[in-house]
Structure 1
Amino acid sequence: MMRKLFVLLWALLTVTVAYAGAQQGVSPGDINAAAELRMLSQRLAKSYVQLGLDVVPAAALEQLRDSTLRFERNLERMEILASALPSVAPAIKRLRGDWAALNTVVAEPADKTRALLASQRSLDVLDGAERLVDALEVASDNGGARRINQAGKLRMLSQRVVKAYMLYSWGADTAASRHEMESAADEFGCGLTTLAALPENTADVRAELSEIALQWEWLRTALLVEGAGSYRLVVAEAADSILAATDRLVRLYQNSESR
């Protein structure tokens, strides 16, 4: 009897320790990797639309392939993490299915109809990745995870707003594309303001935020030019610059939490 009681108590202790370990096991790098899935979903769709529009197609194809490889790598990391944190396993399983559906669309040559479908599928992936990031942020129980999450959202929005712009300039469901573009732009502006107001920002973070703000104003001006197909290249290049800057910002926040 005592032996059975000992075994039961040992099992309960093991579960408790495993749960605590899982809670502590969500690192800043895990939050960043999950948040990057959001960005990659929109970068992939944006690159696919660029291919259809023949806007720097070689670069767009390279970005599409790179986004696919990085998404797979990060998703595999999440699947490994799920073994220690079972609560996120359903979200990861759903994300895997939505990702497969998006990949099926972009495997075919891009036209206006397929570009719209790719955008819709990318939003399904984005929604699943968003849920995953939020779940990991809660599991991490770390205030720094929120900053990584917020900065990572800017990284995603830099791609989403340009994806919607490309669709709008192509005449693909113009009302919905314009709404998505304007909503993403507004969200980017609000997110940038929120991060800039954080009192714990270091000098390096403040400098990066100032650079992003300058680049964003320039891109926002280009987005407002009505019906200018010639601006597609300008907007695409601006998106790449802002993506690089927001990625640096995420890593500054990540490094500050990893020390």
Structure 2
Amino acid sequence: MNVRSNDALRAQRKLLAASQLLGGLPPALLVGLTTASRIVELAANQTLYEAGQPIREAHILFTGSVKRVVDVPGGASRVIEIVQHEQLLGVGEVFGATHYAATCSSITVTQLVAIDIRKLREAVHLNRNLSSRIIAALARRQCATEFDAAGFHYGQTGAQRLLDYLLDQAGERAGLAGETTVLLKASKKVIAARIGMTPESLSRNLRELSDKGVIVVDGRCVHIQNAALLDTVSGDAGQRLSFSRKRKGDARPAGKALPSGVLVNMCGRLRLLSQRMAVAWGSIAAGVAPSRARIKLRQCEKDFIRNLERLDGLGLGAEPSAKLETIKRLWPSYQEAMASEDAADAERIFVLSEEILDAADGLTACAASQAAIPEANYVNTAGRNRMLSQRICKLFLFHDWGKLDGSIAVLSRQTCQEFESNLAELARVAGSQAELGAQLEVVASQWQRFARALCPDPSPAGKAKHARLVLTEGERLLRCVDTAVKLFERLAK
């Protein structure tokens, strides 16, 4: 632990004056608290205080992350809190106990301010505003404790507990549409211990939330899709989607057809993944974050195979089954071609990606047509825009390779025009669904950002930098459109 003495008074004053807890208090009161404080810096995995030690200081976290752990009978321990944002740690202990009941240690490199507990308690007695803030902090912690207990004792699913944890980390920032990003600074093991599950269960629940379109996981970043949190089917923007524990007999009977929206979306994911794989391959061949692109390519291949197998086992009927057979016939050649990382193979990769896209697009259109309801066509249209967001990225990466330049210029214009036309059509049919309309506005805004990234000022340095910008904005656009697809899917019952 590295502790700075009173020569850091200026830094302490700056931190405390801007803090949520102490900012805006009378200057004299703030000066007294600053004088009675010190800055504490911890490396990762260092102990701040241990259970049983007397409470002599209150700690406000400013940067980094910490966990609080208590011992439970049988020699085990439980993570009761993970803190990643500015917060007074252990507020209940600080004002309601003489000794710590929990051990607090850093997860990452951490900076805190420690304040003499006697001075802080005295300031609370003297200032009504500070008293109100402390009461509010205690109330928030009480609510979190009650909901935590409800999650453990009243049968909430692991997915629901995980979602509640992510929303708690996100705070009050979630809007009607768009996304809220949470950076998971703690390890899977620590997070799993906090919400009462194994790391393996945590991975399964992350997958379930991802499959339902509620979150997108990108390494340690989890992008919460705000509109997907709401129960679109009910038409009530205030109704939160729930993940109740299934009762016996709730599972879909074997042989029962999938809801039309789910089936169209599942078929549409094949055409999306065909383009995602081409983008990943193009990134590798162009040397744009190749290590990350290889991971993405492997994951997309696994997802493609998983979707293909699921569709193959559904018994789709003669026409869609014939189209599925075409995809299965093309897939081995496409997979084999992507094993090469030589840009000289770009033309072959491009042609195969277009062929498998056409086959998957035909399958999706067939599924939408057989559903015979307008909502299924909306899922198809939204899903096609999802694919187009990645096709544009593919065209951008491939345009300098082989003999593709001339044809790609035409395809790029046509693809962009189709995206805008589809988006306008979807906006017209959004109807009274507030979250759907709001999400499509987010899509339109991100589309403009993406379009600007495709045509930057010619002065920026380097093609690689330009490519990274285009791919980053393309990923954001993909997440926005994917959420819109999920909302239309829920309407196609």
Assess same fold via TM > 0.5.
yes
Residue 321 of structure 2 aligns with which residue?
89
Q: Does 1:204 pair with 2:446? A: no
Q: Which stretch shows the higher mean deviation, 217-226 or 118-127?
A: 217-226
Tell me: CA distance 1:170–1:195, structure 2 relative to 1, closer, same or farther (3 Å): same
Q: Choose which of 213, 235, 238 in structure 1 pairs with 2:470.
A: 235
More helix by share: 1
Residue 98 of structure 1 aligns with which residue?
330
**Code of the aligned partner of 1:252:** L
Task: Indicate conservation of the 8 Å contact 2:439/2:484, yes or no.
Answer: yes
Q: Choose which of 61, 69, 77 in structure 1 pairs with 2:294.
A: 61
Q: Choose which of 46, 55, 58 in structure 1 pairs with 2:279.
A: 46
**Code of the aligned partner of 1:250:** V
**Code of the aligned partner of 1:35:** G
Task: Indicate conservation of the 8 Å contact 1:152/1:250, yes or no.
Answer: yes
Write out the 4+ residue segments of structure 1 that deviate beyond 6 Å after TM superposition: none
**Code of the aligned partner of 1:29:** V
Matches within 5 A, 1:10-159: 27-81=260-314, 83-111=315-343, 113-159=344-390
How far the C-alpha of 1:170 sits from its partner, in A, is: 5.4
Tell me: CA distance 1:166–1:220, structure 2 relative to 1, closer, same or farther (3 Å): same
How far the C-alpha of 1:176 sits from its partner, in A, is: 1.6
Partner-residue secondary structure (3-state), 1:107: coil
Please list every run of 5 or more consecutive structure 2 residues that lacks an aligned counterpart in the other structure.
1-254
Distance 1:226 1:182 in 2: 19
Residue by residue over 1:150-199, the C-alpha shift from the partner in whole angstroms, topping out at 9 and shown as x without a partner, is 10001000000011011125576211222222221111111111111115
Task: Indicate conservation of the 8 Å contact 2:259/2:492, yes or no.
Answer: no
- Give the TM-score taking structure 1 as reference length: 0.84
Task: Indicate conservation of the 8 Å contact 1:168/1:178, yes or no.
Answer: yes
- Give the TM-score taking structure 2 as reference length: 0.45
Residue by residue over 1:75-98, the C-alpha shift from the partner in whole angstroms, topping out at 9 and shown as x without a partner, is 1122112x2523321111111111
Tell me: CA distance 1:245–1:199, structure 2 relative to 1, closer, same or farther (3 Å): closer
Distance 1:195 1:179 in 2: 25
Q: Does 1:253 pair with 2:484? A: no
Distance 2:451 2:411 in 1: 14
**Code of the aligned partner of 2:483:** R
More strand by share: 2
How far the C-alpha of 1:218 sits from its partner, in A, is: 1.2
Tell me: CA distance 1:40–1:31, structure 2 relative to 1, closer, same or farther (3 Å): same
Partner-residue secondary structure (3-state), 2:429: coil
How far the C-alpha of 1:54 sits from its partner, in A, is: 1.0
Q: Which stretch shows the higher mean deviation, 131-140 or 151-160?
A: 131-140
Distance 1:243 1:156 in 2: 8
Task: Indicate conservation of the 8 Å contact 1:31/1:148, yes or no.
Answer: yes
Partner-residue secondary structure (3-state), 1:197: helix
Tell me: CA distance 1:201–1:253, structure 2 relative to 1, closer, same or farther (3 Å): farther
Task: Indicate conservation of the 8 Å contact 1:154/1:191, yes or no.
Answer: yes
How far the C-alpha of 1:59 sits from its partner, in A, is: 2.2
Residue 164 of structure 1 aligns with which residue?
395
Partner-residue secondary structure (3-state), 2:283: helix
Please list every run of 5 or more consecutive structure 1 residues that lacks an aligned counterpart in the other structure.
1-21
Distance 2:264 2:430 in 1: 22
Pairwise CA RMSD of aligned residues?
A: 2.0
Percent identity for Structure 1 against Structure 2:
26
Structure of higher RCO (CA pairs closer than 8 Å, 6+ residues apart):
1
Residue by residue over 1:196-252, the C-alpha shift from the partner in whole angstroms, topping out at 9 and shown as x without a partner, is 111525111111111111111111112123876131100010111111111111111
Residue by residue over 1:35-93, the C-alpha shift from the partner in whole angstroms, topping out at 9 and shown as x without a partner, is 11111111111110111111111221122111111111111122112x25233211111
Task: Indicate conservation of the 8 Å contact 2:347/2:401, yes or no.
Answer: no
**Code of the aligned partner of 1:243:** L
Task: Indicate conservation of the 8 Å contact 1:24/1:140, yes or no.
Answer: no
Partner-residue secondary structure (3-state), 2:313: helix
How far the C-alpha of 1:117 sits from its partner, in A, is: 1.3
Tell me: CA distance 1:238–1:169, structure 2 relative to 1, closer, same or farther (3 Å): farther
Q: Does 1:223 pair with 2:454? A: yes
Task: Indicate conservation of the 8 Å contact 2:347/2:402, yes or no.
Answer: no
How far the C-alpha of 1:23 sits from its partner, in A, is: 11
Tell me: CA distance 1:35–1:29, structure 2 relative to 1, closer, same or farther (3 Å): same
**Code of the aligned partner of 1:90:** A
**Code of the aligned partner of 2:386:** R
Task: Indicate conservation of the 8 Å contact 1:37/1:74, yes or no.
Answer: yes
Residue 183 of structure 2 aligns with which residue?
none
Partner-residue secondary structure (3-state), 1:40: helix
Residue 214 of structure 1 aligns with which residue?
445
